[in-house]
Amino acid sequence: MEAHLKVNPGHGFGLMLDGALRPRGWGKPRAWRVYVALKLNLPRRGKRRLPERIREPLDIPTTANHTWSADFMSDALWSGRRFRTFNVNDDFNRESMKIEIDTSLPSVRVIRALDELVEVRGAPKRLRLDNGPEFISAALKQWAKRHDVDLVHIQPGKPTQNAYIERFNRTFRTEVLDRFVFTTLGEVRRMTEDWRHRYNHHRPHRSLGGLPPIHYAMANSPSTSTFE
């Protein structure tokens, strides 16, 4: 038994029994007693329980910088190397404020991207998110407390509760990620920023009365100094 585990350290009791002991005539009770006596039964790691999420109405803010929505997407370069995007929008005018792109976007990068936005736009009152590990991290909670931002987490498995960013993600995938073949991250970033500018300044948005996000914000906000 010990020799089998040294060769296959990732095998648990079930695989060890079927692969090495049962063919030798060992029964399950005998095998389990020896397995426990050798202290090979490691405790199972409990799953982290999410706090209860309350469904909130998806209202349209009446002013800019009230509610931001954020989400992740993933894709791959031509080489097969995976990359992720961190998308942040303003729900008021559906403006794409930032799309951070890299092969890895841990909570530290997420916070850095948000800090860059806060430096230019100021902090929002609310930030709507799903329950991904980066979004429920202690670091993001500390960031939110520091900037007095209310983190609004949607209910697990309910992406429609973050419908504004989900709709944006579909457009971004259709018009950029699925349309071009990328060989480097630099290409992804360059094409994304070009598209993001067109999306904000020139692409009509039906829910905004046919106006692009920036034009809508200029027509419906008392101050336009914070818009691109």
Looking at per-residue confidence, does 160 or 28 come out higher?
Answer: 160
pTM: 0.73
**Token representation of residue 144:** 């939110």
The sign of the dihedral angle between the CA atoms of 191, 171, 75, 102 is positive
Region 137-145: mean pLDDT is 95
- CATH number of the 67-220 domain: 3.30.420.10
Q: Considering the chain, what is the average pLDDT of its residues?
A: 85
Give tens-digit pLDDT for 85-119: 999 999 999 999 999 999 999 999 999 999 999 99
Question: Residue 57: which pLDDT band, with cuts at 50, 70 and 90?
Answer: low
Nearest residue to 187 (alpha-carbon basis) of 115, 90, 81: 81
- Cα–Cα distance, 67 to 149 (Å, whole number): 10
Q: Do residues 77 and 184 make contact, with C-beta atoms less than 8 angstroms apart?
A: yes
In which band, very low, low, confident or very high, does the pLDDT at 220 lie, cut at 50, 70 and 90?
confident
Ranking 88-97, 153-162, 202-211 by mean pLDDT, the lowest is 153-162
Q: Give the model confidence (pLDDT) of 115-140 as tens digits.
A: 999 999 999 999 999 999 999 999 99
β-pairing verdict for 67-76 and 82-90: antiparallel
Annotated domain spans of the chain: 2-37, 67-220
Burial of 153 per CB tally in 10 Å (0-12, 13-18, 19+) = buried
pLDDT of 15 reads 65
